[in-house]
Structure 1
Amino acid sequence: MSRPPASLGPTARLVFESGGYRYSVLRHLVTHPHYNTLLLASRQHADGGPVKLVELKPVVLDEGREGLERVLEEVRLARFLRHPNIATVYGYAVQNELPHIVMEHLRGCYLLTVMDAAVAVGRRLSPAFAAYVAAEVADALDYAHRSEGDDRKPLHIVHRAVGPMRIRLGRNGRVQLTNFGAAYSELLGRIRSPDGLLRGDPAYIAPEILLGFLRPKPGQRDLLTPRNLTGRADIFSLGLVLLEMLVASYPLDPPDSLWRDVKRRFPGEVRSEVPTFIKLETLADRVLHFGPDEVQRVAEEVPPPLRQIVSKALRPNPDERYPSADKLRDELRAWLRGLPQPYGAKDAEEELAELLKEASDLDKLAVHAGVERGVLPVPPDVDTEEFH
């Protein structure tokens, strides 16, 4: 988990040069204990030229050289992820010995912002909007899952952290999957995850990752990274996100009476990379018991074709899910095309703009500044017309 540099306050202006570029930090974009800290900055070549808005992700290094190697690994992996639905990583910059991952900034907001805005104004995202967003993310995942290294061998990338704060929605209807920092891959020279560290986001974790710990297979070196881990784990995570958009609530957080805590499944030395809002063992129990019956109950009001798609994406057994993310994408897009009025990027752009305007007019999201800042409304300290 990254933290902002101590010298940067909410309204501070840091200017520094690194790698031939001049960076001017405008403000915090995200500051929340559950998510990576993100800074909004401008970037310009030291010799002049166009100014570009970018996001900086400060990365607090572990002791020794391993921390810097992990930063370099994330940048190296990004070389193989050039896709319009995946946020581009430009490299890294160093300020006062603290490295920052430098990423593309898509004007818009994170999916979590949109979901919170919808709840605040008492409305739901349309099923078509949810299906469109999920289809675009599935397209990005399919590309990542099929990516190859320089030697033309599959990298077997698994994002492991697909969730509403890793999905960014552009004001032009574009959808991007961001932050492959917790990704599993077979990149040559990849650093093995520390023992006992649960990578990714536990709130959207696939059950096979937990089962890899509970029932490890022979020869499994990392109990929290099963040997048979595939992109189907990301399909499960995206299925949870899709279901959350459709029902306007977190699917694994039903009335307490429907769940029973069990004895601890994880020893004390197992820790999550991302803080959890409920105990890790309770969350794991809910994931492992979230089967077809629970999906059908939660998705009772979802249009039947979408309910079937979600149910298949959320099968506990990965062999029963979609075999690849493109199959999920294709079914979602087929449903969108079959609507009385086919739904696409322009429709998503209009629905997003309408929702954010309604939430901004009602001024109901003051609390949201603690997660993503500057969406409602755009802060007066940023002249967005200056950048491109």
Structure 2
Amino acid sequence: MSPSRTVKPPLPEVLFKTGSKSFELERILRRRGHGEQHFLAIRRQPGREPVPVFLQALSLRGGDHSPSRDPRARLQETLALSRLLEHPRIARLYGGHEVGDLLFFEWEGVPGCTLDDVAMLPLVYVHSYSESFLVHVGLQLASLLGFLHGRTDARGAPLGFVHRDLHPQGIRFGPEGALALTDLGDVLSRMPGRVPSSITRPHGEVYYGAPEVLFGEGADARSDLFSLGLILLELATGLHLYSLPRALMGDLEARLTDADAKRVFQGMLVAAQAGRGSGEYADVVVHAAAYRPEDLESLMARLSSGLRAILHRLLRREPSERYATAEELEVDLRAHAARLGGDYGGAEAAEEFQRALAKTSPLLEAFQTDVGAFPPGSVLHLPTPAV
């Protein structure tokens, strides 16, 4: 009989080394346009504790980006921005590492799962989050946006920060129920020395963009509040305003006035100039121009009148009809929380999510077999069984 052998686990994959530091791949999260990739990794350094970090890899090849979005200039801008936005619930940018034809942004690793995971649970286990949970999420995000929008320089002059890319993948839901922002890569500001874009271009994840952003008309604080409204609507209903159920594109296009059609055309023009003029983008821009208050009302049928009123105001097409500031939104959310009664905060939100996750877990394998796997970065991801 042959002696027993100890099977050694595979060595971790090292993404790159710089000086005494090495960065071990923990998980590939996703790829975005223009060669951008996202990873979770462990930073190791002799004599120090391992540190979990989030890595954002940008291509340095000239053909993959416009001159105004040169990754090295973007790194310096984002480092300056990160110093101005020091907050316990905003991830810090530690620095950058140039490796071959890639530039790695090294961000603080924030514990928890993405808000995208939180929103995806109802796809497997049919349930609804309580309105207290939804209000908690809204208050957390409104507080973060209020902090960002209100930043000033040393002389007290507003810096004009607008996030422009608020979406569930860039928000972490922590173990204690607190929410944190983990992606500041597209923040607009009036910081001295900032290199402006050469053209007005769409920013951020298309499905969470405000209409004026999708139409190429620019963004302000109210655009971020619209994105917040889309996130809350998705959490509350499992549905999305830019993917209306049973709505045919022809029916939506028939709703467009001449002015609407002009805005759609303008949006597609600036998207094409920025290399984003896809069929998917066209569908979203038409939805953004064509949706009506009654569409929203239909999506929100099961919600209370108080929460529906808040979402209606967040999701007005015209910015002038929305909340003017995040603080104004906070007032209405706190008033609605008081009407709901009870003491509901981070601990209660974390417990509610864990209950939903526990009921979902037994159903994940069947869901993956019937529908398909969740992406590798998701807490709901199950590895594909070996054949």
Normalised by the length of structure 2, the TM-score is 0.81
Given the alignment, which residue of 94, 100, 108 partners 1:96? 100
Corresponding letter in the other structure for 1:192: P
Cα distance between partner residues in 2 of 1:314 and 1:326? 17
Q: 1:188–1:276: structure 2 CA closer, same or farther, 3 Å change rule?
A: same
1:6 maps to what in 2? Answer: none
Point out the structure with max Rg over C-alpha.
2
2:265 maps to what in 1? Answer: 265
Following TM superposition, by how much is the alpha carbon of 1:334 offset from its aligned partner in structure 2, in angstroms?
3.0
After TM superposition, the structure 1 = structure 2 runs for residues 1-388 of structure 1, keeping only pairs within 5 Å, are 13-14=13-14, 16-18=16-18, 22-33=21-32, 37-44=37-44, 46=45, 48-61=47-60, 63=62, 66-195=70-199, 197-211=201-215, 224=216, 226=218, 229-254=219-244, 255-257=246-248, 259-260=252-253, 265-266=265-266, 270-271=271-272, 279-364=280-365, 366=368, 367-370=372-375, 372-373=377-378, 375-376=380-381
Corresponding letter in the other structure for 1:109: C
Task: Please say if residues 159 and 190 of structure 2, whose CA atoms lie closer than 8 Å, have aligned partners that are also in contact.
Answer: yes
Q: 1:118–1:373: structure 2 CA closer, same or farther, 3 Å change rule?
A: same
Q: Percent identity?
A: 26
Q: Which has the higher helix share?
A: 2
Q: Secondary structure at the match of 1:370?
A: coil
| Structure 2 unmatched runs, 5+ | 1-10
Task: Please say if residues 93 and 100 of structure 1, whose CA atoms lie closer than 8 Å, have aligned partners that are also in contact.
Answer: yes
Q: Secondary structure at the match of 1:50?
A: coil
Q: 1:323–1:66: structure 2 CA closer, same or farther, 3 Å change rule?
A: same
Q: 1:269–1:336: structure 2 CA closer, same or farther, 3 Å change rule?
A: closer
Q: Secondary structure at the match of 2:231?
A: helix
Q: 1:186–1:316: structure 2 CA closer, same or farther, 3 Å change rule?
A: same
Cα distance between partner residues in 2 of 1:320 and 1:189? 33
Q: Secondary structure at the match of 1:31?
A: strand
Size of the aligned set, in residue pairs, is: 354
Following TM superposition, by how much is the alpha carbon of 1:307 offset from its aligned partner in structure 2, in angstroms?
0.6
Q: 1:374–1:321: structure 2 CA closer, same or farther, 3 Å change rule?
A: closer
Q: 1:338–1:33: structure 2 CA closer, same or farther, 3 Å change rule?
A: same
Following TM superposition, by how much is the alpha carbon of 1:39 offset from its aligned partner in structure 2, in angstroms?
1.2
Cα distance between partner residues in 2 of 1:80 and 1:37? 25
Q: Secondary structure at the match of 1:259?
A: helix
Q: Secondary structure at the match of 2:113?
A: strand
Following TM superposition, by how much is the alpha carbon of 1:37 offset from its aligned partner in structure 2, in angstroms?
2.8
Following TM superposition, by how much is the alpha carbon of 1:376 offset from its aligned partner in structure 2, in angstroms?
5.0
Corresponding letter in the other structure for 2:143: D
1:123-180 deviation line (CA, Å, top 9, x unaligned) = 2222222221121011111100011235542211111111221221112211112212
Task: Please say if residues 54 and 105 of structure 1, whose CA atoms lie closer than 8 Å, have aligned partners that are also in contact.
Answer: yes
What CA RMSD, in Å, does the superposition of the two structures yield over aligned residues?
Answer: 3.1
Following TM superposition, by how much is the alpha carbon of 1:62 offset from its aligned partner in structure 2, in angstroms?
5.3
| Structure 1 unmatched runs, 5+ | 1-10, 212-223, 380-388
